[in-house]
Amino acid sequence: MEEKSEDKSGKIASVHKLFKALGHPTRLQMVRLLLSGNECCVKSLVQYTGEEFSSVSQHLRVLREAGLVMESRRGRQNFYQLCHDEYVRQLLGVGDGLLSLERP
């Protein structure tokens, strides 16, 4: 059965959003840190990336909107962790594998 054009374009837009979120070096660095399995507060991500607080917050918003991270609030701090970390790990593994291939 063929997908409706609307459904197909919606899926394409979602996949685009996902890859765009992973396409920025700082966001990729943050995702790799979160793959360690630990939750991180914004302050830890700021220290890890060396970026300004406002920049890290913007990157987290993009990751959250793409469905890659989820946020939980404890007291005055927001903590972030990956959603579906095994899928993200596999996706990044494919990227690493492609980079290790010899170029023609």
pLDDT digits (tens, 9 = 90+) for 11-44: 888 888 888 999 999 999 999 999 988 899 999 9
What pLDDT was estimated at residue 6?
Answer: 64
How many independent structural domains does the chain possess? 1
- The CATH code of the domain that includes 75 is 1.10.10.10
Assigned domain for 56 exists: yes
pLDDT tens digits for range 2-11? 557 667 778 8
Residue 66: count other Cβ atoms within 10 Å of its Cβ.
Answer: 19
Is residue 52 very low, low, confident or very high in pLDDT (cuts 50, 70, 90)? very high
Non-local (6+) Cβ contacts of 33 within 8 A are: 40, 45, 48
Stretch 48-67: mean pLDDT, rounded? 95
pLDDT for the residue numbered 3:
58
Which residue range(s) make up the domain with 68? 8-100
| Predicted confidence (pLDDT) at residue 92 exceeds the cutoff of 90 | no
